[in-house]
Amino acid sequence: MRRLTPVLATLAAAAFAATMTQPAPASTPAGDTRLSNDVGGGYTSNYTMVTGQPYTDATLTECGRSRGRQNEPSVAIDPRNSNVLVGSSNDYCGVYNDGVDADGAPIASGPIWLGYYRSTTGGSSFQSSLVPGYPGDTSPYAGRAHIRTASAGDPVLAWDTHGRLFAGSESSDDPAGTKKTFGDVWVATYRNPGGEGGATTNDGKEFQRSEIVARGSSAPNTLGKFNDKTAIEVDRTGGSCDGTVYFAWSRFTNTSSNIYLSRSTDHGATWSNPVRLTQSTHDVQVPEITVTGNGHVYVTWVATVGNKHNETDAVQYARSTNCGATFAQPADVVTFEGYAHSDGSSRDCGDFADACPSGYTFFRADSSPRSATDQNDKSSEDVHIVYDAAYGPDVPTGTSYGMVGTGVGSLSAVYYTVLHGATGTHTDPVLVNRPTKQHQIFPDIAVNAGTAHVLWWDSRNDSSCADATTCAAQPIGNTADRHVVQDALDTYGTSFSLASGPTGSAVRISDKSTNPNFEQFDNRAVPFAGDYLWIDSVGSRTYGVWTDWRDTVPGTDARETSADGGAEPGEGADVLQCRTNGSADTCPRSGGLDQNVYGDLAP
């Protein structure tokens, strides 16, 4: 079983007993803003957005009415104009664009693609679109997409200082409809249509191209060589590496994984041969790229280290001092007790084939470190890291559900540490905000002008449990009698001076608590919340984005019985759907799948 280091274990045990119940605190002053406007004709072709010339297709039409699913959001603020923000997500809005079956049910065979959500109002409103090159795109920009897959996901974003935005993706699915999952990774470039000297309100507006960075092996069902878990950053230091784009990913090959990185020195037109940063480690993933003020490149990731008798998680890193041409050997930053929501071998649970022995319904989540630097700070080579670890003593769950082992639960908390890159030393990890009874998951961090900005998902307002022990023994949003509540999750954040470190305070960013356990995937059988949130900070503006379920319409699943292997009908996880005589869902656009990306100003 993975264990906390002694320092963290002592801190956790001392604080775990402290619990309190309090009303949900007020959220940040600005109202939450929806980025994925997939209702009322809300999606516009990038070609139309740039030229004003009308264009639409079946996918964009569907995206304008779908009330579909979006998750794994990212956001980036233009360093030349902080009123310009672009967000992205895994966007399922075009899935039902292929007619209906014999029962009148819309056929789910359209693309899952990268959303492109643009704001010129500082994040108070967004215009929704898709990255060009999706299946069915016949716009004049479609030919600029030099890619070969029928789906895309894991969006990551980064700006340079010349009006360009770069959007990275992993992608799979064969356009020919075979079971091959190509496992490619690619990067799209957006430019200012007026060039670098154009009005900055047009920065990152025009899709210029997308190019494959690395190809997978085209094996069925993600076997063979599959590239996943992407990261991107651009050198904005003004130094000798300025404008270099760095892109990293996890390459999975059957039983092992490694971290690879490629770079582009011509704004994403061509990419270097990938450099492998790790050496056949048992399990490495979730890379993150940062650049310090002197142009040095750092890649961090999470790794499983040790052996089966002494296994633990670690944040590891590799450093380059020559613009990403070569990297030093990987090293550990910190080790910690990671967690993973699990039930036996299942990372998520729902109904039917997705049912688990415990009878709970929950989404997948596990430890996910993130890192950030301030490229404008020329005096520091510090890398600021947050990670979510198991927190507090182990709690027997009494079921097959667990977080740190089968039948063993825990809370989770966000920790902060600073890697001093020049020396390889680091500060002692400290809690960002001490939990009382809640889980804190999927943190992200941005660093700007001497201040760190952190956000995470937080279950402190979850009404399904009253104290730390019961919250540790049950999945987020699940009562002991296997019901799902509607107010399980919020987005919280904080900021603090780099000189003094975390203050322990936190602010509620989301205006509304939501239910992340709605069964919206695998034919309405299991929840999926995505694997990350995002925060960015430029100048005086800090903005965070998250996946949200406030617009989801609850319902009942006519297929459910007490013998389906999951919870009883009415457990709180079912969504609105229309089924007769065993048909597929005939009303997928009526709100049952309305999962969205929301954003707001953050501390």
SS percent in the chain: helix, strand, coil, step 5: 5, 40, 55
Residue 51 gets which letter from DSSP?
H
Mean pLDDT, residues 412-427 taken together: 98
Distance CA 45, CA 112 (A): 16
Mean pLDDT, residues 404-420 taken together: 97
Domain for residue 409, yes or no? yes
- 51-58 long-range contacts (CB < 8 A, ≥24 apart) are 55/139, 55/140, 57/136, 57/137, 57/138, 57/139, 58/94, 58/97, 58/98, 58/110, 58/136
Measure CA of the first residue to CA of the last residue in the chain; give whole Å: 36
Residue type, 465: C
Residue 9 gets which letter from DSSP?
H
Q: Is the confidence at residue 358, as pLDDT, over 90? A: yes
Distance CA 406, CA 409 (A): 8
> Half-sphere exposure (CA, 13 Å, Cβ side) for 346?
22
- The pLDDT, as a whole number, for residue 13 is 38
- The pLDDT, as a whole number, for residue 268 is 98
Distance CA 196, CA 204 (A): 10
Tokens linked to 465: 């449990």
Q: 135, 148 in Cβ contact below 8 A?
A: no
Q: Which residues on adjacent β-strands are paired with residue 258?
A: 251
The pLDDT mean for the chain works out to: 92
Domain for residue 259, yes or no? no
Summarised one tens digit per residue, pLDDT across range 118-139 is: 999 999 999 999 999 999 999 9
Task: Kindly give the residue spans of alpha helices, DSSP state H, lying in 177-332.
Answer: none
Distance CA 58, CA 414 (A): 43
> Half-sphere exposure (CA, 13 Å, Cβ side) for 90?
21
Tokens linked to 223: 């076997």
Residue type, 3: R
pTM over 0.75: yes
Query: Which residues, including other chains, have CB under 8 Å from residue 567's CB and lie 6 or more apart?
Result: 351, 359, 360, 361, 482, 483, 484, 573
- The pLDDT, as a whole number, for residue 432 is 98
DSSP reduced 3-state for 251:
strand
Residue 169 gets which letter from DSSP?
E
Distance CA 202, CA 200 (A): 5
Tokens linked to 283: 């399990």
Domain for residue 532, yes or no? yes
Range of the domain at 514: 1-30+337-365+387-394+401-603
Domain for residue 155, yes or no? no
Domain for residue 361, yes or no? yes
- To which residue do tokens 């041969």 refer? 273
- The pLDDT, as a whole number, for residue 282 is 67
Distance CA 599, CA 123 (A): 7
Summarised one tens digit per residue, pLDDT across range 184-207 is: 999 999 999 999 999 999 999 999
Task: Kindly give the residue spans of alpha helices, DSSP state H, lying in 125-208.
Answer: none
Mean pLDDT, residues 401-427 taken together: 97
Summarised one tens digit per residue, pLDDT across range 41-71 is: 999 999 999 999 999 999 999 999 999 999 9
Overall domain count for the chain: 1
Summarised one tens digit per residue, pLDDT across range 294-328 is: 999 999 999 988 776 678 999 999 999 999 999 99
Q: 299, 231 in Cβ contact below 8 A?
A: yes
Residue type, 234: V
Distance CA 553, CA 590 (A): 8
Q: Cα dist. 226→114, 316, 486 in Å?
A: 19, 22, 36
Distance CA 291, CA 148 (A): 31
Distance CA 426, CA 447 (A): 17
* Parallel/antiparallel/unpaired status of strands 370-372 and 342-343: unpaired
In the chain, % of residues over pLDDT 70: 92
Q: 485, 447 in Cβ contact below 8 A?
A: no
Domain for residue 130, yes or no? no
Distance CA 439, CA 429 (A): 18
Tokens linked to 261: 């990185």
What angle (nearest 5°) sits at the alpha carbon of residue 515, between those of residues 510 and 516? 95
Distance CA 367, CA 415 (A): 11
Confidence of residue 222 (pLDDT cuts 50, 70, 90): low
Q: Is the confidence at residue 243, as pLDDT, over 90? A: yes
Domain for residue 562, yes or no? yes
- The pLDDT, as a whole number, for residue 208 is 98
Mean pLDDT, residues 586-601 taken together: 98
More confident residue, 364 or 568: 364
Residue 514 gets which letter from DSSP?
B
Summarised one tens digit per residue, pLDDT across range 255-281 is: 788 999 999 999 999 999 999 999 866
Distance CA 408, CA 473 (A): 7
Q: Is the confidence at residue 2, as pLDDT, over 70? A: no
